[in-house]
Amino acid sequence: MICRPQHAVYGGAFDPPTFGHINLILRASRLFDVLSVGVGHNFNKVSMFTAQERMHLLRESLQDCDNVRICSYDGLLVDFCRSQGAQVIIRGLRAIGDFEYEFQMGLANKDLAPEIETLFLIAAVDKLFLSSSVVKEIARCGRDIRQYVPACVADAVEAKIAKR
């Protein structure tokens, strides 16, 4: 008998959340009974938004997803996965550069937590170029980002930039 994993984790910085993130979350949420979205802290980057703000933006953007939980975490994604009782890590792939990095992380995660599988989802074709960094750069140059992020996120990005 083959049992389908019931719980997955999708972790990231989500600074800010984009339609690329939302697309992956929606697709993964259809594959699992529960999807925990982990808002992590990237120690190598200075964030535009606090973890609490990013969680709020994700919750606003995903109001209709009953099986999606938004949480924050520090440390390793596999440890967060275990704390949530999840059996699968979801990762998104946009380009070959993503694959190399994600492949290394997947191998490390498998070594640290052999019981947890990594599932790679390919980004939607119209989202291949989309990243939080690209969105922030476009916004800093005074251009509209509403085609790349939910309205609540665009408003929050614009407000942050206006304060600087």
- Whether residue 21 lies in the annotated active site: yes
Kindly state whether residue 87 falls inside one of the protein's structural domains: yes
pLDDT digits 0-9 by tens, 4-54: 779 999 999 999 999 999 999 999 999 999 999 999 987 777 899 999 999
Task: Compute CA 110 distance to the chain's CA centroid, rounded to the nearest angstrom.
Answer: 20
At residue 129 the predicted structure's pLDDT band, cuts being 50, 70 and 90, is confident
Look up the domain containing 26 and give its range. 7-163
Kindly state whether residue 2 falls inside one of the protein's structural domains: no
- State the Cα torsion 120-15-109-117 to the nearest 10°: -40
Mean pLDDT of 159-163: 92
Rounded to whole angstroms, the Cα distance separating 96 from 55 reads 29
- Of 16, 11, 1, 95, the C-alpha closest to 49 is 16
Mean pLDDT of 121-131: 90
156 versus 2: the higher-pLDDT residue is 156
Amino acid at 71: C
Number of structural domains (the chain) is 1
Kindly state whether residue 1 falls inside one of the protein's structural domains: no
Kindly state whether residue 13 falls inside one of the protein's structural domains: yes
**DSSP run (H or E) holding 80:** helix 77-84
Residue-level pLDDT at 1: 56
Kindly state whether residue 98 falls inside one of the protein's structural domains: yes
- Whether residue 59 lies in the annotated active site: no
| pTM summary value | 0.93
pLDDT over 70 (residue 2): no
- Of 37, 103, 22, 39, the C-alpha closest to 67 is 37
* Average pLDDT over the chain, rounded to an integer: 94
Mean pLDDT of 131-142: 95
Residues 85 and 45: beta-carbon distance below 8 Å = no
At 19, which CATH number? Answer: 3.40.50.620
Kindly state whether residue 68 falls inside one of the protein's structural domains: yes
At residue 81 the predicted structure's pLDDT band, cuts being 50, 70 and 90, is very high
- Of 63, 56, 71, the C-alpha closest to 159 is 56
| Close Cβ partners of 82 (under 8 Å, ≥ 6 residues apart) | 113, 116
- Look up residue 158 and give its two tokens: 């614009």
In the chain, pLDDT over 90 holds for what percent of residues?
Answer: 83
- Whether residue 41 lies in the annotated active site: no
- Whether residue 61 lies in the annotated active site: no
Q: Which of 82, 94, 110, 160 is catalytic?
A: 94
Kindly state whether residue 72 falls inside one of the protein's structural domains: yes
In the chain, pLDDT over 70 holds for what percent of residues?
Answer: 98
Kindly state whether residue 47 falls inside one of the protein's structural domains: yes
- Of 18, 112, 97, the C-alpha closest to 58 is 18
